[in-house]
């Protein structure tokens, strides 16, 4: 299997970032949320869409394209 240089770079960057948090993903996530909050940028939360009776769970994406 050949190695994709872009994938390799993304994995290396991910490892570098996690290493800076002592491999603590939860700590990294909390820090990211804190920086997002402190940035002052508006965060959009969209309401959860309900499935119609008998609709397959993946049908919403197909319906939205129509």
Q: pLDDT tens digits, residue range 6-51? A: 999 999 999 999 999 999 999 999 999 999 889 988 878 888 877 7
Q: Above 60 in pLDDT, residue 64?
A: no
Q: Above 60 in pLDDT, residue 57?
A: yes
**Prediction pTM value:** 0.52
Answer whether 33's CB lies under 8 Å from 40's CB. no
Q: Above 90 in pLDDT, residue 52?
A: no
- Helices 5-20 and 25-39 meet at what angle, rounded to 10? 90
Answer whether 40's CB lies under 8 Å from 31's CB. no
Residue 13: what pLDDT? 96
């Amino acid at each position: 299997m050949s190695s994709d240089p872009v994938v390799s770079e993304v994995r290396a960057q991910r490892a570098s970032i996690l290493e800076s948090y002592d491999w603590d993903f939860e700590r990294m996530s909390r820090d990211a949320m804190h920086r997002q909050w402190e940035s002052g940028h508006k965060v959009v939360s969209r309401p959860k869409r309900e499935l119609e009776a008998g609709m397959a769970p993946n049908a919403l994406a197909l319906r939205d394209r129509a």
